[in-house]
Amino acid sequence: MKSTTQEIRGRLYVVFDELFHPDGESSSRGVKLLAKWVVCPRCDGNGAHTNPAIDGHGITREEMDELGPEFEEDYFAGVYDVTCHECKGRRVVPEIDREENPADLLALYDYTVEEDAAYAAMVAAERRMGA
């Protein structure tokens, strides 16, 4: 789901290229939803996180012991950190303000999020099967 963030008259909006209707026949383009800034959930507001190539699936105590004390010291000192992939170092991300938007637009947004997640799951399953 492609979107951009805009500030209009001091209000934050997320503008979506396209939101889908449950009827499957139509879509709405250029939908603007009011948003608010929230602390980035990926980096917890630090603007950086450990490079996923280093610990994308976590590092167990046993793995840390195998890698040695120098690696552990560097790891916790942030040597392997990269700019946050989600907030791009801004430490905050826009979040749709569910209290400030009309229910019909929130329904379109929610439906589109669900459809995008279902499509991503289908693509991942096809890749696992060799497609």
* Domain locations along the chain: 1-44+87-131, 48-83
Look up residue 48 and give its two tokens. 């950086």
Contact between residue 63 and residue 116 where contact means Cβ atoms under 8 Å apart: no
Task: Please give the DSSP secondary-structure letter assigned to residue 92.
Answer: E
- Segment 100-128, tens digit of pLDDT: 999 999 999 999 999 999 999 999 999 99
Cα separation, 33 vs 126, in Å, equals: 33
Q: Is the pTM of this model over 0.85?
A: no
Q: Is the pLDDT of residue 98 over 90?
A: yes
- Segment 41-95, tens digit of pLDDT: 999 999 999 999 998 888 999 999 999 999 999 999 999 999 999 999 999 999 9
Nearest residue to 114 (alpha-carbon basis) of 29, 19, 14: 19
Main-chain phi, psi angles of 106, to 5 degrees:
-65, -35
